Amino acid sequence: MKNIIQFILFSCLVCTSMDSHAQTEGNLWNTLAKITFKKEYDEMLGFKVDVPVFSDQVEKLSGQEITIKGYVIPVEGYKSHTEFVFSAFPYNMCFFCGGAGPESVMEVYAAEPIKYSPEPIVIRGKLELNANDVNRLIYALNDAVLIKESN
């Protein structure tokens, strides 16, 4: 029992330190996290799905060029490094592998190929919001370009 409590406390500490680090970075992931979800019935699927409700701050970013720091998540099936998933967190802590939420990842469609790196990079592109297509992520970055490679 003592080990379980220690593990829970350690997990909380790690999550808290990641969150405070992200906030001190002053990056857009904090703003993109300002969403809620509502349940709506999807006719095509035949059941209720979580639909994102974007805050006013996020809505104002729609269609705007943004610069954001994060991690390239390698995804099988993509033909090149011009299409990939970008995450606020490294691979082992991202939405697909860890406990992060869907607001912490985005689809990226780059103008030129961007090399995979396990280190964070900075990219710029036009932000697209998605509240309708359950087969896509809720954020996409179009015409993305690499601004800064990892150190």
- How does pLDDT run across 11-38, given as a tens digit for each residue? 333 333 333 333 333 479 999 999 999 9
For the chain, domains (ranges, CATH) are 28-148 (2.40.50.140)
| Residue 108 tokens, joined | 């990226």
Rounded-to-integer distance, Cα 128 and Cα 130, Å: 7
Q: Where are the beta strands (DSSP E) in 11-151?
A: 35-42, 47-54, 65-73, 83-87, 105-110, 121-129, 139-148
- How does pLDDT run across 37-72, given as a tens digit for each residue? 999 998 888 889 999 999 999 999 999 999 999 999
- How does pLDDT run across 76-120, given as a tens digit for each residue? 655 568 899 999 988 666 665 666 788 999 999 999 988 888 899
Query: What is the residue whose two structure tokens read 């639909």?
Result: 51
Partners of 142 in beta bridges:
109, 126
- Supply the pTM of this predicted model: 0.76
Single out the residue of 144, 135, 146, 136 nearest to residue 105, CA to CA. Answer: 136
